């Protein structure tokens, strides 16, 4: 497996693969890989001739008060894990390689980025869409793989690809959870033992909502109230949002009569966790 650090070398690697008629799958990550990332890599390996994993903690998607400097990093560990499940290359550029002096171009997707995480993180998705578009171009990818845990990100990327006529297939993959239900996240390492234990209320609340829906409840307000009740049984939980929105355009619903995304963001100490289910 190759570790590539420059745009020029990544371009050459991708061009050589395409010249041989190979399809390239891209798994964009910020590193500190876990089983959720590995499931994306395995999916790409199964569907493409070449799989590239980007490991890049993208500074433009962090606000000044967020955890860019402390975000966990371990390239050697990431490279070993990526190679163990069949990746052909890791693209690991420095920020200066992606955003050289004089860089002034950004991509903004409107509407979809103004709800959910976009409310408390208003600059986040501009950074996400910009770096993802750059990675698509640099890796010359035919397919790209994203986890459903970041459901809003997946929706935003799909909208960008459709609106800008990008010739790439976006593949969404299921959330991977710990055995006790906690959604895998690189940020889970920041949780104290008490915070880790109490964070289980996130999935518990979503399972409660699913049970209500399966029992015939269709009032978004009642379901949201029950999710909130369950989360508040954890003293350390600080709710950012609980939202029930249409799956296709992320607009709020009052009566659940369509495919919906039930999404939440909750802080435990300094760690902000997100989770969701689709019904």
From the options 3.30.360.10, 3.30.1300.10, 3.50.30.30, 3.40.1280.10, give the CATH code of 186-273.
Answer: 3.30.1300.10
Contact partners, residue 36, CB within 8 Å, separation at least 6: 147, 149, 175, 176, 183, 184, 185
The rounded distance, in Å, linking the Cα atoms of 150 and 148 is 5
Q: What is the pLDDT of residue 276?
A: 98
Q: What is the pTM of this model?
A: 0.97
CB 162 within 8 A of CB 135: no
Render the burial of 188-201: b for 16+ CB within 10 Å, e for the rest.
bebbeeebbebbeb
pLDDT per residue rounded down to tens, the chain (279 residues)? 999 999 999 999 999 999 999 999 999 999 999 999 999 999 999 999 999 999 999 999 999 999 999 999 999 999 999 999 999 999 999 999 999 999 999 999 999 999 999 999 999 999 999 999 999 999 999 999 999 999 999 999 999 999 999 999 999 999 999 999 999 999 999 999 999 999 999 999 999 999 999 999 999 999 999 999 999 999 999 999 999 999 999 999 999 999 999 999 999 999 999 999 999
Q: What is the pLDDT of residue 48?
A: 98
The rounded distance, in Å, linking the Cα atoms of 159 and 248 is 10
Q: What is the pLDDT of residue 166?
A: 98
For the four alpha carbons of 243, 244, 248 and 250, in that order, the dihedral sign comes to negative
Closest among 193, 211, 101, 113 to 155, alpha carbons compared:
113
Tell me the pairing of strands 271-278 and 260-268.
Answer: antiparallel
244: helix, strand or coil: strand
CATH 3.40.50.620 fits 2-173, yes or no: yes
By 3-state DSSP, what share of the chain in percent is helix, strand and coil, each rounded to 5?
45, 20, 35
Q: Do domains 2-173 and 186-273 have the same CATH topology?
A: no
In the block, tokens 């508040």 appear at 232
What are the residue numbers of the active site? 37
Q: Spell out the domain ranges in the chain.
A: 2-173, 186-273
């Amino acid at each position: 497996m190759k570790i590539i650090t420059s745009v020029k070398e990544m371009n050459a690697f991708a061009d050589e693969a395409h010249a041989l008629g190979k399809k390239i799958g891209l798994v964009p990550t910020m590193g500190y890989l876990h089983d959720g990332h590995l499931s994306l890599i395995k999916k790409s390996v199964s569907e493409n001739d070449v799989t590239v994993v980007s490991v890049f903690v993208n500074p433009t998607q962090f606000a000044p008060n967020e955890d860019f400097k402390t975000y966990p990093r371990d390239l050697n560990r990431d490279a070993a894990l990526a190679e163990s499940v069949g990746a052909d290359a890791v693209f690991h550029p420095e920020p200066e390689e992606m955003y050289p002096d004089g860089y002034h171009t950004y991509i903004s997707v409107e509407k979809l980025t103004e709800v959910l995480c976009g409310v408390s993180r208003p600059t986040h998705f501009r950074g996400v869409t910009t770096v993802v578009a750059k990675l698509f171009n640099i890796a010359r990818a035919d397919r790209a793989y994203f986890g459903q845990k970041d459901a809003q990100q997946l929706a935003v990327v799909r909208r960008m690809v459709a609106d800008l006529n990008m010739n790439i297939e976006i593949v969404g993959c299921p959330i991977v959870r710990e055995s006790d239900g906690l959604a895998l996240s690189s940020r889970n390492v920041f949780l104290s033992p008490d915070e880790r234990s109490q964070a289980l209320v996130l999935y518990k609340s979503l399972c409660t909502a699913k049970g209500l829906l399966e029992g015939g409840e269709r009032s978004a307000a009642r379901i949201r109230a029950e999710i909130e009740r369950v989360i508040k049984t954890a003293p350390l939980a600080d709710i950012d949002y609980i939202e029930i929105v249409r799956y296709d355009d992320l607009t709020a619903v009052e009566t659940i009569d369509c495919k919906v995304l039930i999404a939440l963001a909750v802080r435990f100490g300094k760690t902000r966790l997100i989770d969701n289910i689709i019904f």
